[in-house]
Structure 1
């Protein structure tokens, strides 16, 4: 169980996340939605301990991860893999080496400094790439891949950590609809087959509905909705996203990535989201 109690983060006088209370059972796939600036990324970064909470407690399986330091903190960041919108690969290194970097916190400092990986580690990395349909690019420089391919490499690297939790911070925000679908299918498959808890930040309502059994909606740093995807009513959407300048409800088509081929009426792209919300 991942537990958050009154988790708050301040940046100077600005409160980015305020009094968040969440319990996420092991093996759940959770989508966190909301406008830009709602606190979604800050929340995930606190869970992974890239930044510390200003107040409150974060626990995993009874361990207070918000208080960890040194080797115990590194062990938590190994168990809690982070996938970023901008991939965070090393462009000049080949794909296979980028994936193998996911093993660093499992190995001795000496082996890491020498860059020596075992045959078993290399085989596991190739298997992860095969699972994500990108093994053919194993020896290609990461910087030469498309955005969708790079995100799949980042997911393979996260799998190499053998994590208990995967946090995905806007993993499809910069991808075209087809690659967005491939990435979300991959995360859902990992959640389903390995039983790994997946918490992913999303701008898009259709993606949250199609992939996440539970949705957490944030507005102005607070959780304003927490429930199953089917409970995302018009009223709930208004609480999360507010209304447009004329007072009407936000159109779900504006927040769509069009990755669900069962819903052909939705044609807007992710790129249309930010301009549409800019007036909020």
Structure 2
């Protein structure tokens, strides 16, 4: 159980998040929606402890993570993996190395930066890359990949942390609808197969309804909606986004991630295929 009690964050005279109270059971897929500036990203960053709370507490399995320091805080950030809109990969490093860097908080920083990883870690990284269907890119520099592929690399890297919770901050905001569908399907698969809690900030209403068990709406830093996908009616959406929102803001046909199937990717060259096959065999 992840429990937020009266969580508040102030920046000077501005209150970004105000008195949020939530209980999120283990294994739930939660979508957080709301207009820009509603406090969604600030809330996720407080859960991960990238920023501190001004008031209130965040509790996971009876541990107050909002008070952790030092090694305990690093352990929590490993247990609570964060996926960002901007991917946060190292563009010049290959995909496999980027994924392996997910072990950074659980091993020597020097060894990680020198690329010294165990056989078991490499096998785990290959398995995660295969799971996200990007194994043919394993030896490519991450910066040469498409946005959708880079986000899948970021998810594979998060899995290397063996997390208990995954936080995704606008993971599909910069992706086209087809790649957005692939990324959201991957997060949903992880949630269902691994039983991991997944909390993601989203802009599109159809995405929240399609992939999430529970939807939380924020406005002005406060939770103004908490319900199932069926509860997220047009009337409820208007309350979340404000009475001044126009019809286009709620046109799900324009921003849908559920209407198209992913386009097939270009075939890999025989040389790269042989290299990847050798990489997989070595890892096994």
TM-score (norm 1): 0.90
| CA deviation vs aligned residue, 1:213-250 (integer Å, no higher than 9, x gap) | 100000000000001111012331122111336xx666
The alpha-carbon distance between structure 1 residues 47 and 151, as it changes in their structure 2 partners (threshold 3 A), is: same
Partner of 2:227: 227
Cα shift at 1:261: 2.0
Mapped contact 1:203–1:255 kept (Cα < 8 A):
no
Cα distance in 2 for residues equivalent to 1:51 and 1:195: 27
What does 1:25-36 correspond to in 2, within 5 Å? 25-36=25-36
Cα distance in 1 for residues equivalent to 2:112 and 2:118: 11
The alpha-carbon distance between structure 1 residues 40 and 256, as it changes in their structure 2 partners (threshold 3 A), is: farther
Partner of 1:257: 255
Partner of 1:165: 165
Mapped contact 2:204–2:256 kept (Cα < 8 A):
no
Equivalent position SS for 2:85: coil
Partner of 2:238: 238
Partner of 2:44: 44
1:23 corresponds to 2:23: yes
| CA deviation vs aligned residue, 1:69-103 (integer Å, no higher than 9, x gap) | 00000000000000000000001111100000001
| CA deviation vs aligned residue, 1:26-80 (integer Å, no higher than 9, x gap) | 0000000000000000000000000000111001011000000000000000000
Partner of 1:128: 128
Cα shift at 1:252: 2.3
Mapped contact 1:9–1:17 kept (Cα < 8 A):
yes
Q: Which ranges of structure 1 fall in alignment gaps of 5 or more residues? A: 263-280
Mapped contact 1:243–1:250 kept (Cα < 8 A):
no
Partner of 1:66: 66
Partner of 1:271: none
Cα shift at 1:105: 1.5
What does 1:1-280 correspond to in 2, within 5 Å? 1-112=1-112, 114-244=114-244, 251-253=249-251, 257-261=255-259
| CA deviation vs aligned residue, 1:147-185 (integer Å, no higher than 9, x gap) | 111000000000000000000000000000000000000
Mapped contact 1:2–1:58 kept (Cα < 8 A):
yes
Equivalent position SS for 1:140: coil
Cα distance in 2 for residues equivalent to 1:90 and 1:214: 33
Partner of 2:276: none
Cα distance in 2 for residues equivalent to 1:182 and 1:249: 27
Cα shift at 1:114: 3.8
Equivalent position SS for 1:105: helix
